Amino acid sequence: MSLVHRLVVLVLLALLLGGCMQRPASPTPTPTLYAQLGGEEGVAAIVEDFTYRLAGDDEIVVFFANSNIDRFVASLEEQICHLSDGPCVYSGPPMDRAHQHMGMTDAHFNAVVEHMQQTLIDQGIPPGPRNQLLGRLARLHGDIMSLQ
């Protein structure tokens, strides 16, 4: 067995162990993603920080020209709460209709994702819940971009 082979096996083992350590040893229930994001308070802080970043981005803020920002903030809080298994049900418009004919490109979408990633990092959300939320938000891409 060559040294590289042994190293490959070692890395695979480390990945596997890393994956196993994610699971709790005892049957205590894992906290929901919502709880890991800091619950109602945490999600509110994330949405506020994120909204300020969108407002400060000249390429993005134009899409909010005719928006009620308070309603946007409340709606996004509710949606993230819903997406992260929190005690909410998203009651806003479906993602395709909410963004239809806005003329958004993938470049705009990427910029917004980058703002969200940096928000989560700066709000001190650990890598696990951060990447989990980003993964759940990434799945909205198809709907958001379907009626452009």
Partner 1 sequence: MTHPPRLATRLFTRRFLGVGLAMGLLLWISITASPAWAGSRLLGTGGVTQIEGAAGGGLSPWGVLAGSASEGEWAITASRSEARLDDYRLAVSGVALNWQDRLEVSFARQRLGLDTLGGELQQDIHGVKLRLVGDVLYHPWGVWSLGVQHKRLDDGSLPRAVGAESTQGNDIYLSGSKLLFDAVAGRNLLVNLTLRSTRANQGGLLGFGGDVKDSRSLVAEGSVGLFLTPNWVVGMEYRQKPDNLGFAHEDDWQDLYTAYFFNKHVSLTGAWLDLGSIAGLGQQRGGYLSLQVAY
Residues that bind partner 1 (CB under 8 A): 2-5, 7-8, 11, 15, 18-19, 21-22, 105-111, 113-114, 117, 121, 126-132, 134-136, 138-139, 141-142
Closest distance of CB 25 from partner 1, Å: 15
Residue whose CB is less far from partner 1, 88 or 111 = 111
The C-alpha angle with vertex 107 and arms to 104 and 111, in degrees rounded to 5, equals 100
Residue whose CB is less far from partner 1, 5 or 66 = 5
Closest distance of CB 70 from partner 1, Å: 28
Closest distance of CB 68 from partner 1, Å: 27
Say if CB 54 and CB 61 are below 8 A apart: yes
Rounded to an integer, what is the distance from CA 32 to the centroid of its chain?
14
43 half-sphere exposure, CB direction, 13 A CA radius: 24
Residue whose CB is less far from partner 1, 86 or 129 = 129
Q: 11-28 burial, b for 16+ CB within 10 Å, e for fewer?
A: eeeeeeeeeeeeeeeeee
Q: How many CB atoms sit inside 10 A of residue 45's CB?
A: 16
Closest distance of CB 110 from partner 1, Å: 4
Residue whose CB is less far from partner 1, 8 or 55 = 8
Closest distance of CB 50 from partner 1, Å: 16
Residue whose CB is less far from partner 1, 73 or 85 = 85
The helix (H) or strand (E) run that includes residue 62 is none
